[in-house]
Structure 1
Amino acid sequence: MVSTTKIKSVDFYRKIPRDLTEASLSGAGLSIIAALAMVFLFGMELSTYLAVTTNTSVIVDNSSDGDFLRIDFNVSFPSLSCEFASVDVSNVLGTKRLNLTKTIKKVPIDPYLRATGAEVHSTSGLHLINHGDEDHGNNTYAAIPLTGATFDKFSHHFQILVVNFYAPWCYWSNRLKPSWEKAAEITRQRYNPETDGRVLLGSVDCTEETTLCKRNHIQGYPSIRIFRKGSDLKEDHGHHEHESYHGDRDTESILKMVEELLKPIKKEDHKLALDGKTDNVVSGIKKAPVSGGCRIVGYVRAKKVPAEIIISAHSGAHSFDASQMNMSHYVSHLTFGKMISERLLTDMKRLMPYLGLSHDRLNSKWFVNEGQFAANVTIEHYLQVVKTEVVSRRFGQEHSVIEEYEYTAHSSVAHGYYYPVAKFRFDLSPMQVLISENPKSFSHFITNVCAIIGGVFTVAGILDSIFQNTLRLVKKIELGKNI
């Protein structure tokens, strides 16, 4: 067997008996400084080891999400009614999708962007509305003309006040005119306003009574509103909650609507049955907006070619006054591609400093038309979109952590002859940015830590030896002088 003495002979770290060593004040100070230097250098090395270093390259787009791109958005329009708000998508290939509804949610809002009601569902089939026989006679309405001064008086007097808000220049208003006149006349004969007092058909010329029409959030012509007297009276300035009629506009349909409205009302006492609530469902009637704004939330899927999303007022049986339309809006968010899952949030926080950070260029921004040129203005956003992919290499494996689309945005306003819109034009780059993470190996970190400890220890020992030898030399010189 190998003796213990021979084994000890290979000891690199030979021990000096403690009795033969001597501690010094200078050595203690130098040891403290060396220890602090070790801790400081270790912290710097650890920080370098934990830091993320990346390489950025540009390659041909090899997206894994197919030929279609998902676009999520939340845009608020303080001056666009949900009754007519429409989202359209078109691209350079000629594909057009109009008035998307399946993935779009519309919520009425006030000028301060606060929700004022439940989700509004688009009215379909307006282009199929029956208008009855056209009449090219004079444009004078036979229905009772209402003004700002008389409107509240009539709405508080009659149990049902049905009002046609129209514009004399409007094609659809003029198509409704003969049916409305005839229905108003027949209604007066059947339900005499002086002896019956339950219903009245009136009309408001919005070119003359602009304040009254704005108060009732009229944005499309003609708009038929139904005002009920009774328990639905709001305390807000005495305004009545009201409903909109979207049914056929021929005389027979209008009269049928009036009769259905009168069924729950007793003629003898002029009171609404069941406090104004009834199980009767009148065809074509929906709750009218109590505010003139709309928040549009949802997503669309578009082919990966230059395309545009257009948000505008649209109807198959209404006209709009372009000079009175304001497409100012607030973009809460607009993002391209898949939504990042909760599972990736940790890596997102770690890698976010290395991304372009341009994926929210429009987020939380106002785009407002102001001054005398605010009307009839289209707001356009031009978006250059590029895909960014971050590849992480951890524990010897490579995997894609983040796939997102970043964009730069340029916005402008333009006057036009057509109805103003809000337009989001986007063009996708055929290239993508690839960011690769380069993690440091743990063995490299341990090697550097050992080098730090050994190096500082050795340098401190050398400095201490120099200091001690210098002191001995000085003492010898002083001793020689004394002799």
Structure 2
Amino acid sequence: MSALRKAHFYRRVPKELTEGNALGGVVSLVGIVCSAFLVYSNAAAYLTTAVRTKLVLDLNTEDHIELAFNITMEGLPCRFTAIDFFDVTGTKRLNISRDIMKVRVSSSDGHILGMGEEEEWTDDVEHDDPDESNRQAHELASLIAEEAEGEAEDVPMLIGGATERDTKERRHFSAFVNSKDFVMVAYGAPWCPWSRRMEPVWKALHMTVLTSPLHDTVALGRVDCTVEKQLCASQQVSAFPTLRIYRAHDTHSHENYHGDRTVEALHDFLQESVEGMEEAAGFHPLTHLSHRAGEGCQVSGGVLISRVPGSLRFSAQSPQAAHSFDPLMMNASHHVSALLFVPPLFDRASHIEWSSQLTTHSLGAIIDPGEAALRQETFVMHEQATTLKHYLKVVPQRKVAIDGHVSDTFQYSTNYNEFRPTDLKPHAADPQQRLVPNAVFSYDISPYRVVHREERQSLGSFLTQLCAIVGGCFTVFGLIDSALFYGVKAVKQD
């Protein structure tokens, strides 16, 4: 027992041997308040999760990541919209269709036309002056009658803006469309080989129509877009040849012909169309309105890419390589709804649900299924024959939650530039000189990874700091009390 008494470090001093004063009481109260505040702060820090960020070399062995996107090409029809992929390893994928969905949209107001929508009906369409249209139609009907009698050339009428030099051969476009109930116009260009191949077929079809009952209902015309640039621009024709159908004397409405370009196929199509018009005559009282001139394409999906620099390109391509494109008529303006880099086999649903539960968590806005610098942004082509280029610097990120949940995402910054070749020629032999305008997204993935890790203070560290706070406050305020006591005592003695 005596040995234990000797080992007692905290021996008691009899109370009658101690002395207290008012100044010492003030110091003691301040010390208690400070100790309580520091203890509370330490406890709050122990209960709060902190985020530690560090930069490490990315040693991830995954071969591919997914580039997911939702982009609307506002002036490029879906049938001509192609997605190509290139990277520095030599990988080249042209006209990608796997995991890609295209939806036709109107370039005027952006509403979705749908995959199979060919026409819509409305009774609220503005028409030109009926008297003027009837007068022009009468003049053109007389000219077509002369052609049928052999007084005109045996070729389809060349239509465009009326001029005083050749008013017999050329007629105003609206007058030609108003001449018959069913008008089919071939837009072409002399430098286009597919347009040149179409000429004899179109002439033969024209002669077939003139000598058949279709002549009373059908009119065939042709437009040289190298001459009638304004007309082709107003009709938004950029691929040659384009076979366009106008019904019910409406110059603002059209359908495109997508069938075979043979006399037999075209003649059968005209017969079926005229028969369908006769069957539907008087059935629908509303005015026919095919989709307005101008069609865009909403492209969404994902492409697997390697972890090397590469490019994703949206451009115009003919499905059967049966069209030529005029770069001066193309429009590469586009709207980016979202563009994300995500790991392959990414479970978006569960990740988004998990992220939504942590909106007030310490990681805050860092937790996201993918940080998109391009989101709900529109890029407009300000000059003709311009390529719109985006440069993306991608940084891999890893977020480790306190419960061990690991989330790999990618953040990126972007720069934008409009590039216009100085030697662009629409009919040049060199493919590089006749590239049509397109939208390009070039990316480069960083070899470093940013790691955000949630950490919580350990119990041992909390207890250590708690003891340091209590003992430190007791010692510091004890020294202050001693200094004040002996200082006051010395002053009184003097």
What is the TM-score normalised by the length of structure 2?
A: 0.69
* Percent identity for Structure 1 against Structure 2: 28
Counterpart of 1:433 in structure 2 is 449
TM superposition shift of 1:402: 2.2
Pair 1:60 & 2:77 matched: no
Three-state SS of the structure 2 residue aligned to 1:342 is helix
Which amino acid is the alignment partner of residue 35 of structure 1? V
TM superposition shift of 1:142: 2.0
Pair 1:35 & 2:52 matched: no
Three-state SS of the structure 1 residue aligned to 2:211 is helix
Pair 1:115 & 2:134 matched: no
Counterpart of 2:340 in structure 1 is 335
* In structure 1, distance between residues paired with 2:173 and 2:13: 108
1:237-276 matched pairs, under 5 angstroms:
240-266=252-278, 271-275=281-285
Q: Which moved further from structure 2: 457-466 or 78-87? A: 457-466
* 1:284-309 superposed Cα distances (whole Å, 9 cap, x missing partner): xxx76643443322211234455432
Report the CA distance shift for 1:428/1:27 in structure 2 as closer, same or farther (over 3 A).
same
TM superposition shift of 1:159: 2.5
Pair 1:212 & 2:234 matched: no
Report the CA distance shift for 1:320/1:472 in structure 2 as closer, same or farther (over 3 A).
same
Report the CA distance shift for 1:324/1:242 in structure 2 as closer, same or farther (over 3 A).
closer
Report the CA distance shift for 1:30/1:167 in structure 2 as closer, same or farther (over 3 A).
farther
* In structure 1, distance between residues paired with 2:114 and 2:74: 16
Which amino acid is the alignment partner of residue 223 of structure 1? T
Pair 1:423 & 2:440 matched: yes
* 1:232-285 superposed Cα distances (whole Å, 9 cap, x missing partner): x7xxxxx64321110011111111111111113339xx945344799xxxxxxx
Which amino acid is the alignment partner of residue 116 of structure 1? H
* In structure 1, distance between residues paired with 2:459 and 2:204: 89
Q: 2:78 aligns with which of 57, 75, 82?
A: 82
TM superposition shift of 1:165: 1.9
Counterpart of 2:243 in structure 1 is 224
* In structure 2, distance between residues paired with 1:382 and 1:427: 8
Pair 1:296 & 2:299 matched: yes
Contact 1:56 1:436 in 2 (8 A): no
* In structure 1, distance between residues paired with 2:74 and 2:263: 35
Counterpart of 1:102 in structure 2 is 98
* In structure 1, distance between residues paired with 2:238 and 2:11: 92
Contact 2:246 2:255 in 1 (8 A): yes
Unaligned runs of 5+ in 2: 117-152, 163-171, 425-432
Which amino acid is the alignment partner of residue 201 of structure 2? S
Which amino acid is the alignment partner of residue 323 of structure 1? L
Unaligned runs of 5+ in 1: 122-139, 234-238, 279-286, 479-483
Three-state SS of the structure 2 residue aligned to 1:448 is helix
* In structure 1, distance between residues paired with 2:72 and 2:475: 68
* In structure 2, distance between residues paired with 1:33 and 1:148: 96
Contact 2:156 2:220 in 1 (8 A): yes
Contact 1:386 1:428 in 2 (8 A): yes
Which amino acid is the alignment partner of residue 27 of structure 1? G
Question: How many residue pairs align between the two structures?
Answer: 422
Which amino acid is the alignment partner of residue 275 of structure 2? K
CA RMSD of aligned residues (A): 4.5
TM superposition shift of 1:414: 5.1
TM superposition shift of 1:16: 9.7
1:314-463 matched pairs, under 5 angstroms:
314-315=317-318, 316-338=321-343, 341-345=351-355, 350-351=362-363, 360-363=372-375, 368-370=380-382, 374-383=383-392, 385=394, 387-391=396-400, 394=402, 399=404, 401-407=406-412, 413=419, 415=421, 416=424, 417-419=433-435, 420-428=437-445, 431-433=447-449, 435=451, 437=453, 439-463=456-480
Q: 1:200 aligns with which of 219, 228, 231?
A: 219
* 1:420-440 superposed Cα distances (whole Å, 9 cap, x missing partner): 3333344556x4426373543
Report the CA distance shift for 1:383/1:473 in structure 2 as closer, same or farther (over 3 A).
closer
* 1:85-119 superposed Cα distances (whole Å, 9 cap, x missing partner): 1112244555543222232233445668x523234
Q: 1:179 aligns with which of 201, 206, 212?
A: 201
TM superposition shift of 1:171: 1.3
What is the TM-score normalised by the length of structure 1?
A: 0.70
